[in-house]
Structure 1
Amino acid sequence: MAEDWGDIFKNLQMSANEEAIFKGDYEREFVHKQIFAEEFEDIGEDNEDYIENMLKEEEKIAIAGLTNILPLRTLSLPWLLEARRTAIYNIVYIGGCNGVRKITVYTAMIYVDRYLSSVPKKPISPIAKLLAISCLYLACEQFEEYECQISTSNYIGSIMSMKYNIITQFKWIVTFVTPIQFVKYFLSRFCRDLSRKLYAKSITVEIIMSTIGDVRLMSVSAFVVGAAATLLASNSNILTHEMIKDEINALPKKWLIPIDEVCSCYDRLLETNMHRLDIS
């Protein structure tokens, strides 16, 4: 059975919180603030203007040629999967042990996948760990409200050099959209049972985090993954494709939502997350 990197990260994050009581004041304060932010602060907004801005960001990334084509590249370059596995291991373990947020780890994996989608065909497995740490460092700069001191001071020169390489490869675009940023809006539309809302919010993010090990799902648009994950967590019953289509068709038509992709993503997420769902 493939590793559920989302669960692994959550357990490491919880361990970091427990171990923080034995650390210094700074480390303890940082981890506790992170846990509070993770549990109680909403990411994103629940209005249509916000969603349209996120969709424009996704479009800008596509126009810049920074889409995730890793599933296609791995067919002819299988060493990319080894490099990715090394990267995800280091991002999850270093991020979890340092108490960073889920959106930070998810964004770091977006950086890894987009970088591996465009690097030359020469194997980079020997520097996959450095790539992982540099992507995590860059993601921390985007999403960590409090300064995160990742224990990499001995390699800071190499990390800064790799980070510059990554940013250059991305044409200085570092704002990538994640499914987590759509959750607040989709909960406002799909979760009609108010008693289920807190559960649905937590489980939706867990479902999204479970995708970081799946190369195919990580190449699906953030909007689609966010919609499918929220639909799955918001309902106590498994939805048919017709029911999913009804929910999506109630959203603004101008968004041109690929309903078949949402249905396919929903099925895949249901298959891989049955163990965590309160659903029948």
Structure 2
Amino acid sequence: MENTFSYSSLLCEEEHTLIISEENGDEYIQMLIDREIASFGLQGQESSHVTNFDWIQQARLAAVQYILKTGESFGFRFKTVYIAVTYCDGFLSRRFLDGEKHWAVKLLAVACLSLAAKMEECKVPTLTEYHIFESSVIQRMELLVLNTLEWRMGCITPFNFINYFVSRFCINDSRKCVISTTVEIIFTALRDIKLMSVRPSVLAAAATLLVLNKSLTMEALEVEINVLHLNGILQIDDVFSCYNQMLYLNKEIYKSPKCLLSPQLSPNQLLRNGKLEKSSVPSKRKSLTFLEIDQIDDKPQQKRQCTSNVGK
């Protein structure tokens, strides 16, 4: 069946809010970046063992697609959906899964979306509304996620920085259109675990610049970044690398340098370059024992290689 999801459904209720809600003063952004560096480090997080196993990457892409589709069906804010993927990646970077446990990654996606909704949404669905796993199983997985992330669930996201960068980089174009398309470009980055390990401020800066100009050289990008007066905290190499990777990922939806509004694409279309394969997880509700969930956490401590935090 054709997927009717589009990012406009997540954006339509929030475009105006995003434009007016975030402060954009240099001191405020400097404070956010200080918090970000304390959480992510100056160079961002490590994607760890996730990129070393094809099955985990495929299962992760299926999890991202599930989060996007389910978040849209519940009417969640786009920040909720993004944070859910952040939780998922944080867990996968800290816990070593073997044996191609696709069901475990699907359960992780459900638990992370539920936790993100509890953090961000006013109206939170009951666990029975997820229709995949038993409520007790989801609750157990939620606790495992909370413990793995050390209960640090407050995330700094690229959306915290978009208003600031648009106000600095955007001169002649409609800010509303630039913000809308920047959010869409950031969402296409969800399929790339390496991009998701980049600091949110770097991701937001690169995405905003990509919307405004898709042919920047490193020298031209450096000129844009240097006007921000952020004391060199945004590394030019990092922003340019992120810019080029997102340019590659968005080549199918970013058709014209004169067109700020990208097409309304489904998760399947946005994820197709990620080689998404059909998951082995059944569509009906799966009853799992607590022992099976415990097996997710039965690996030695030395295999948990990522020392970065999800948030503060």
Q: How many Å apart are 1:40 and its aligned residue? A: 2.1
Structure 2 matches for 1:107-256, cutoff 5 A? 107-123=83-99, 124-148=101-125, 151-152=129-130, 155-193=134-172, 195-235=173-213, 238-256=215-233
Give unpaired runs (5+ residues) of structure 2. 259-312
Residue 22 of structure 1 is matched in structure 2 by none
RMSD (Å) for aligned C-alpha atoms: 2.5
State the structure with bigger RCO (CA 8 A, min sep 6), 1 or 2. Answer: 2
Do the aligned residues in 2 keep the contact of 1:197 with 1:234 (CA within 8 Å)?
no
Tell me how far apart the structure 2 counterparts of residues 36 and 13 of structure 1 sit (CA, whole Å).
6
Between the two proteins, the alignment pairs up a number of residues equal to 248
Tell me how far apart the structure 2 counterparts of residues 145 and 204 of structure 1 sit (CA, whole Å).
25
Tell me how far apart the structure 2 counterparts of residues 141 and 239 of structure 1 sit (CA, whole Å).
40
Tell me how far apart the structure 2 counterparts of residues 35 and 12 of structure 1 sit (CA, whole Å).
6
> Closer, same or farther in 2 for the Cα pair 1:57/1:253, shift >3 Å?
closer
TM normalised by structure 1 equals 0.79
Q: How many Å apart are 1:121 and its aligned residue? A: 4.3
Do the aligned residues in 1 keep the contact of 2:15 with 2:179 (CA within 8 Å)?
no
Q: Which moved more, 1:200-209 or 1:93-102?
A: 93-102
Quick check: 1:47 aligned with 2:25? yes
Tell me how far apart the structure 2 counterparts of residues 273 and 254 of structure 1 sit (CA, whole Å).
30
Q: How many Å apart are 1:96 and its aligned residue? A: 1.7
Tell me how far apart the structure 2 counterparts of residues 121 and 129 of structure 1 sit (CA, whole Å).
13
Tell me how far apart the structure 2 counterparts of residues 116 and 223 of structure 1 sit (CA, whole Å).
22
Residue 69 of structure 2 is matched in structure 1 by 93
> Closer, same or farther in 2 for the Cα pair 1:57/1:125, shift >3 Å?
farther
Q: How many Å apart are 1:253 and its aligned residue? A: 4.1
Structure 1 stretches (4+) deviating beyond 6 angstroms? none
Quick check: 1:73 aligned with 2:54? no
Quick check: 1:272 aligned with 2:263? no
Q: How many Å apart are 1:178 and its aligned residue? A: 1.4
Which secondary structure does the structure 2 equivalent of 1:276 belong to?
coil
Do the aligned residues in 2 keep the contact of 1:12 with 1:93 (CA within 8 Å)?
no
Give unpaired runs (5+ residues) of structure 1. 1-7, 15-33
Q: How many Å apart are 1:10 and its aligned residue? A: 4.6
Do the aligned residues in 2 keep the contact of 1:13 with 1:99 (CA within 8 Å)?
no
Q: Given residue 198 of structure 1, which amino acid in structure 2 is its aligned partner? A: K
Q: How many Å apart are 1:249 and its aligned residue? A: 1.2
Q: Given residue 97 of structure 1, which amino acid in structure 2 is its aligned partner? A: S
Do the aligned residues in 1 keep the contact of 2:115 with 2:142 (CA within 8 Å)?
yes
Q: How many Å apart are 1:61 and its aligned residue? A: 2.1
Tell me how far apart the structure 2 counterparts of residues 261 and 238 of structure 1 sit (CA, whole Å).
17
Tell me how far apart the structure 1 counterparts of residues 141 and 80 of structure 2 sit (CA, whole Å).
18
Tell me how far apart the structure 2 counterparts of residues 48 and 141 of structure 1 sit (CA, whole Å).
31
Do the aligned residues in 2 keep the contact of 1:200 with 1:230 (CA within 8 Å)?
yes
Q: Deviations over 1:143-162 (max 9, x none)?
A: 22444456227722222221
